[in-house]
A and B are shown apart, each in its own frame.
Chain A
Amino acid sequence: MSICFTAKARNLLLMACLSFFAVCKPSFAAAQPAVDEANPLMDVMWDYMREQFIRDEPWQYSARVQIILPEFAEDSTQVPVMVRHQIADARRLILFADLNPIQHIATYEVDAGSLPDIGLQFRVQQATPVHALVQDASGLWHVGRNYVDASGGGCTAPKKEAASDDWASNLGQIEGRLFTRNSHRLKVQVSHPMDTGLVEGVPAFWLNEITLTDQSATALGRLNLSAPVSANPRLTFSFAKESAPESLEGYQLHLRDNDGNDFTSPVYQLNGKEVM
């Protein structure tokens, strides 16, 4: 499961270009606009987004935060993303898409234990940079960045779920399973329409608060989702084997949506069976 070669190549190229301009700046000064130290990737919304999410807290770009993302969105209502990191004392993760009408996608706060790699699907309204900010124990934010091309309309296009009314009958239904191949991970799918409120006549209605608890019902972390997360979210919580306990047996999810509906997942066991 290495990082996509093309993404790697692109990042290398980017770094090469950046360092080239950094080195050659004096001779290019007249012809080239100086690289903005605070925004070397020239993301038009970056300064503004940074202020929204982390104000003036210290940050740096980091290769230790990777966003796995397709180069283009085949389905702009279901863009897969996974944030991976190698920051041992990570406390918090913020994921957002700069050019979405609702930029925020997800935030994970560590209560106990470590910050998992997180996978989900989200909607994009147009081609956009995506940023993942991981804060370590010292308060420094490590910033990963990627980009997805898209034809758009994911947030405001009326979707099938909105047209049918059977979403109500399986609202909050949860399917999940533990995996332990290269990591300890929990993958769940929750039935929920995740309405953004941007489609005419369909009010915003989405799962916004998920708490992960361990065997002793201690809260390990809280995942806050925003409405751009795709309908019927499939969420992956993946803990590196060295940082996680033996397994995730006995783990459980507690979910709440913005209407105050509470859902609780079964207690997950490794053999695939769920213990209520």
Chain B
Amino acid sequence: MKSMPIKNRLLSQLRLTLRFWLERLHSGVVLVGILFFWMLSGVSFAATPYEIKPVNIAPDTWVVMGKNEPFTPENGGMIANIGIILTEQETLVFDTGPSRAFAEALSVWIKEQGGGPIRYVLNSHAHPDHFLGNQVFPQNRTYSAEPTQRMIVEQGPDLAENLYRMVGAAMKGTRSVAPGVVLKEGVSKIVLGSGSSEHQLEVRLLDGHSHGDLILLDRTTGVLFAGDLVFYNRALTTPHAVLNDWLAALDQLEGLSHSLLVPGHGPVHQKGEGIKQTRDYLKWLDKSFKQGAEEGWSMAEMLNWPLNPAFKSVVMQRYEFTRSLSHWYPQYEENALKQ
């Protein structure tokens, strides 16, 4: 066997070695890159997605503004407005948000802000964007209407599960906890804080958006927390809504003297606009479904029902129309067929 010249052998050896290490280096770079990317993304996924930046709307009164979006992993389910009345002596929270992490972030903010212990936690109704932070607060200080408590007991775990599916990681550790205290019908009066920061509050129980809607009126500041009985510039939702009860509740809200209204979804505004828009929108939904059913539109065809240009400032209309169609249209169809 003819041996290779020593120079060539050395060269080929060198080439092999070089290639060997280059390949190692290459996969190493890739590995480091992957690790780096993973760490970066890991950090952003692991941390809470919630930026709690409450807006001060009146003395001692703050609102975490929900995003006008469907539930997504990016918004962490933070789509509803959450109210806080914060005094040095004691603090009230109106709704607890979509998750444990949200409510924890809210608690931290309240402490940082110098708020007193949380004395009242109100659940406006039993929808998951409003009550799934309950577990962070004392159960015996959490109040709601009786139907709200019952629905959270019965359906809370399913509602939470559905939110896990839609929101994902931000829901970590969240479980459904029902309010510990049921308020009696009518008006409950509360005095929050004392001295210069005393707030005369009224809690009222209505229904229409759900079977037990709780609202809060601050007689001292004139702020009305209407929960989801009022939507403003964001299409309303109807999973448990009863049209005529809702319209009646809006009339009652209109009769309450207030200067600023905090809707369940959409911007805080002066008296009137949101109530009017919610009423007009409900009536338009009713009229559309009646007309569609009378003309024989199938449920699927109704998906393409023309939206009303009068509500051009209202976002998420097609999405919510599709949902309301599912909640309400079958009944309208049945009525039209029974004529």
Q: List residues of A whose CB falls within 8 A of some B CB.
A: 1-4, 68-72, 74-75, 78, 80-82, 119, 121, 151, 175-177, 179, 181, 185, 187-189, 234, 236, 238, 272
* Contact (Cβ within 8 A) B296 A181: yes
Which B296-312 residues have a C-beta within 8 angstroms of A? 296-304
Instruction: Please report which residues of chain B, range 121-179, place their CB below 8 angstroms from some CB of chain A when the two chains form the complex.
Output: 162, 165
Kindly provide the distance from the CB of B300 to the nearest chain A CB, expressed in whole angstroms: 4
User: Which secondary structure characterizes the binding site on chain A?
Assistant: strand
Q: Is B295 an interface residue (CB 8 A)?
A: yes
A4 and B330: CB pair below 8 A? no
> 11 additional contacts, CB 8 Å, given A68-B304, A80-B298, A82-B301?
A69-B300, A72-B322, A81-B300, A119-B301, A151-B162, A177-B339, A179-B295, A179-B296, A187-B337, A234-B333, A234-B337
Contact between A119 and B304, CB atoms less than 8 A apart = no
Q: Which chain A residues lie closer than 8 Å to B299 at the CB level?
A: 80, 119, 121, 234
Q: Pick the contact of B300: A2, A82, A188, A189 (CB < 8 A).
A: A82
Least Cβ–Cβ distance between B9 and chain A, in angstroms? 37
Taken together as a complex, chains A and B put the C-alpha atoms of A187 and B333 apart, in Å, by 9
- In angstroms, Cα B333 to Cα A185, docked, is 14
Q: How large is the interface on B (under 10, 10 to 19, 20 to 34, 35 or more residues)?
A: 20 to 34
Check B339 against A234 for contact (C-beta < 8 Å). Answer: no
Taking CB atoms, residues of chain A closer than 8 Å to B301 are 1, 68, 82, 119
A3-B156 Cα distance, complex, nearest whole Å? 37
- Roughly how many angstroms separate A238 CA and B330 CA in the complex, as a whole number? 18
B298 CB → nearest A CB, Å? 3
Q: How far is the CA of A179 from the CA of B338 in the complex (A)?
A: 14
Write the B228-264 contact mask toward A (1 if CB under 8 angstroms, else 0).
0000000000000000000000000000000000000
User: A188: which B residues are within 8 A, CB to CB?
Assistant: 337
| Partner of B337 from A4, A74, A81, A177 at Cβ < 8 Å | A177
Across the interface, name the chain B residue whose C-beta is closest to A83. B300
* A75 and B298 in contact, given A1-B304, A2-B304, A189-B333 (Cβ under 8 angstroms): no
CB-nearest residue of chain A relative to B320? A74
Find chain B residues with CB under 8 A from A234 CB: 298-299, 330, 333-334, 337
* Residue with the greatest number of chain A CB neighbours at <10 A, chosen from B303, B325, B338, B339: B303
With A176-B337, A177-B336 as given contacts, are A1 and B326 in contact (CB-CB < 8 Å)? no
Instruction: Enumerate chain A residues within 8 angstroms of B15, measured Cβ to Cβ.
Output: none
Known: A71-B322, A74-B326, A78-B326. A189 touches B334 (CB 8 A): yes
B151 to chain A, nearest CB (A): 16
Type the 1/0 row for B269-303, where 1 means its CB is closer than 8 Å to any CB of A.
00000000000000000000000000111111111
CA distance A179 to B301 in the complex (A): 14
Q: Which of A2, A3, A181, A187 interacts with B298 by CB under 8 Å?
A: A187
A238 to B297 CA separation, bound complex (whole angstroms): 10
Q: A68-B304, A187-B333 are in contact. Are A151 and B295 (CB under 8 A)?
A: no
Q: Report if B323 contacts A (CB, 8 A).
A: yes
B53 interfacial by beta-carbon distance below 8 Å: no
Nearest chain A residue, comparing its CB with the CB of B293: A187
8 Å CB contact of A80 from B295, B303, B334, B337: B303
Ordered by A's residue number, 13 sampled pairs between the chains whose C-beta atoms are within 8 Å are A69-B300, A74-B322, A74-B325, A78-B330, A80-B299, A80-B326, A119-B298, A119-B300, A176-B337, A187-B298, A189-B337, A238-B298, A272-B339
